[in-house]
Amino acid sequence: RSSDLLTVSVKPAKMRCYAEGTQEIGHDLNLKCETKEGSPPLTYRWEKITGTQKLPATAQTLAPGVVLLTNASVDYSGTYKCTSENRVGSESCLLVLNVGYPSNRAAKIAGAVIGTLLGVLLVALVVYFCCRKQKEKKYEKEIQQRSEE
Protein backbone atom coordinates (compact mmCIF):
# COMPACT_ATOMS: atom_id res chain seq x y z
CA ARG A 1 0.00 0.00 0.00
CA SER A 2 1.43 3.43 -0.91
CA SER A 3 0.67 6.72 0.78
CA ASP A 4 0.26 9.92 -1.13
CA LEU A 5 1.62 13.15 0.21
CA LEU A 6 -0.51 16.24 -0.35
CA THR A 7 1.22 19.59 -0.16
CA VAL A 8 -1.01 22.63 0.22
CA SER A 9 0.49 25.98 -0.66
CA VAL A 10 -0.96 29.24 0.62
CA LYS A 11 -0.65 32.59 -1.12
CA PRO A 12 0.64 35.53 0.95
CA ALA A 13 -2.06 37.10 3.12
CA LYS A 14 -2.63 39.42 6.09
CA MET A 15 0.11 41.83 5.12
CA ARG A 16 1.19 44.77 7.23
CA CYS A 17 3.19 47.77 5.99
CA TYR A 18 4.72 50.30 8.39
CA ALA A 19 7.60 52.73 8.83
CA GLU A 20 10.06 52.81 11.70
CA GLY A 21 11.86 56.06 12.45
CA THR A 22 10.99 59.73 12.54
CA GLN A 23 9.41 61.06 9.36
CA GLU A 24 11.50 64.24 9.45
CA ILE A 25 14.09 65.65 7.06
CA GLY A 26 17.57 64.23 7.66
CA HIS A 27 16.42 61.18 9.63
CA ASP A 28 16.65 57.54 8.56
CA LEU A 29 13.52 55.45 7.99
CA ASN A 30 12.91 51.73 7.69
CA LEU A 31 10.03 50.66 5.47
CA LYS A 32 8.82 47.27 6.63
CA CYS A 33 6.25 44.82 5.40
CA GLU A 34 5.31 41.49 6.91
CA THR A 35 3.16 38.64 5.72
CA LYS A 36 1.35 36.71 8.43
CA GLU A 37 0.41 33.87 6.10
CA GLY A 38 1.94 32.36 2.99
CA SER A 39 3.98 29.38 1.92
CA PRO A 40 7.71 29.87 1.45
CA PRO A 41 9.64 30.96 -0.40
CA LEU A 42 8.22 34.48 -0.14
CA THR A 43 9.76 37.39 -2.00
CA TYR A 44 9.14 41.05 -1.17
CA ARG A 45 9.31 44.09 -3.43
CA TRP A 46 8.95 47.77 -2.44
CA GLU A 47 8.03 50.46 -4.95
CA LYS A 48 6.93 54.08 -4.80
CA ILE A 49 3.62 54.54 -6.60
CA THR A 50 3.31 58.36 -6.43
CA GLY A 51 5.54 61.24 -7.52
CA THR A 52 8.73 60.05 -9.19
CA GLN A 53 7.54 56.44 -8.84
CA LYS A 54 11.08 55.39 -7.97
CA LEU A 55 12.54 54.40 -4.65
CA PRO A 56 14.95 57.07 -3.38
CA ALA A 57 18.57 56.63 -4.46
CA THR A 58 19.56 55.99 -0.83
CA ALA A 59 17.22 52.97 -0.53
CA GLN A 60 18.97 49.81 0.68
CA THR A 61 17.37 46.42 1.17
CA LEU A 62 18.38 45.21 4.64
CA ALA A 63 16.29 42.03 4.79
CA PRO A 64 13.28 40.56 3.01
CA GLY A 65 10.54 43.21 3.28
CA VAL A 66 12.83 45.80 4.92
CA VAL A 67 14.16 48.83 3.07
CA LEU A 68 16.33 51.51 4.70
CA LEU A 69 15.91 55.09 3.50
CA THR A 70 18.76 57.27 4.76
CA ASN A 71 18.86 61.05 5.16
CA ALA A 72 15.16 61.53 4.35
CA SER A 73 14.01 64.53 2.34
CA VAL A 74 10.59 65.95 1.43
CA ASP A 75 10.94 64.13 -1.92
CA TYR A 76 10.61 60.84 -0.02
CA SER A 77 6.98 61.71 0.82
CA GLY A 78 4.38 59.70 -1.05
CA THR A 79 2.70 56.32 -1.21
CA TYR A 80 4.78 53.17 -1.20
CA LYS A 81 3.62 49.66 -2.06
CA CYS A 82 5.07 46.40 -0.80
CA THR A 83 4.23 43.22 -2.67
CA SER A 84 4.83 39.75 -1.28
CA GLU A 85 4.85 36.86 -3.76
CA ASN A 86 5.20 33.12 -3.83
CA ARG A 87 4.40 30.53 -6.52
CA VAL A 88 0.71 30.54 -5.58
CA GLY A 89 -0.02 34.27 -5.69
CA SER A 90 0.73 37.71 -4.32
CA GLU A 91 -0.56 40.28 -1.86
CA SER A 92 0.22 43.98 -1.41
CA CYS A 93 -0.08 46.68 1.19
CA LEU A 94 0.36 50.46 1.05
CA LEU A 95 2.27 52.90 3.24
CA VAL A 96 2.03 56.70 3.12
CA LEU A 97 5.11 58.68 4.13
CA ASN A 98 4.89 62.38 5.01
CA VAL A 99 8.45 63.61 5.51
CA GLY A 100 8.47 67.10 6.99
CA TYR A 101 10.66 69.60 8.74
CA PRO A 102 11.81 68.72 12.25
CA SER A 103 9.68 70.24 14.96
CA ASN A 104 11.48 72.97 16.84
CA ARG A 105 11.70 71.28 20.24
CA ALA A 106 13.74 74.10 21.79
CA ALA A 107 11.03 76.62 20.93
CA LYS A 108 8.33 74.35 22.37
CA ILE A 109 10.28 73.93 25.61
CA ALA A 110 11.00 77.66 25.85
CA GLY A 111 7.33 78.43 25.21
CA ALA A 112 6.25 76.01 27.92
CA VAL A 113 8.74 77.46 30.43
CA ILE A 114 7.77 81.07 29.66
CA GLY A 115 4.06 80.19 29.81
CA THR A 116 4.53 78.51 33.19
CA LEU A 117 6.50 81.46 34.57
CA LEU A 118 3.85 83.91 33.38
CA GLY A 119 1.18 81.77 35.02
CA VAL A 120 3.09 81.73 38.32
CA LEU A 121 3.64 85.51 38.09
CA LEU A 122 -0.07 86.08 37.49
CA VAL A 123 -1.02 83.98 40.52
CA ALA A 124 1.57 85.84 42.65
CA LEU A 125 0.15 89.21 41.56
CA VAL A 126 -3.41 88.16 42.38
CA VAL A 127 -2.33 86.97 45.83
CA TYR A 128 -0.33 90.18 46.42
CA PHE A 129 -3.22 92.49 45.49
CA CYS A 130 -5.73 90.44 47.51
CA CYS A 131 -3.47 90.66 50.60
CA ARG A 132 -2.94 94.38 50.03
CA LYS A 133 -6.70 94.94 49.73
CA GLN A 134 -7.22 93.00 52.98
CA LYS A 135 -4.66 95.21 54.78
CA GLU A 136 -6.31 98.37 53.44
CA LYS A 137 -9.72 97.24 54.72
CA LYS A 138 -8.22 96.35 58.09
CA TYR A 139 -6.49 99.77 58.27
CA GLU A 140 -9.73 101.56 57.32
CA LYS A 141 -11.61 99.68 60.06
CA GLU A 142 -8.98 100.68 62.63
CA ILE A 143 -9.21 104.35 61.58
CA GLN A 144 -12.99 104.21 61.66
CA GLN A 145 -12.96 102.66 65.15
CA ARG A 146 -10.50 105.33 66.44
CA SER A 147 -12.58 108.14 65.02
CA GLU A 148 -15.71 106.79 66.68
CA GLU A 149 -13.99 106.82 70.09
Per-residue model confidence as pLDDT tens digits over 82-102: 999 999 999 999 999 999 988
Range 58-95 burial, b when 16+ CB lie within 10 A, else e: ebeeeeebbbbbeebeeebbbebbbbbbbeeeebbbeb
pLDDT of 108-133, one tens digit each? 676 777 788 778 888 888 888 888 88
Q: Which of 44, 35, 70 is nearest to 56 (CA)?
A: 70
pLDDT of 67-84, one tens digit each? 999 999 999 999 999 999
What is the pLDDT at residue 108?
67
Report the C-alpha gap between 114 and 108 in whole angstroms.
10
What is the pLDDT at residue 131?
83
Q: Report the chain's mean pLDDT, rounded to a whole number.
A: 87
Contact 93, 44 (CB under 8 A): no
What is the pLDDT at residue 115?
80
What is the pLDDT at residue 17?
97
Q: 97 by DSSP, 3-state: which?
A: strand
Q: Which of 90, 75, 124 is nearest to 9 (CA)?
A: 90
Contact 86, 42 (CB under 8 A): yes
CA dihedral 117, 119, 120, 126 (to 10 degrees): 140
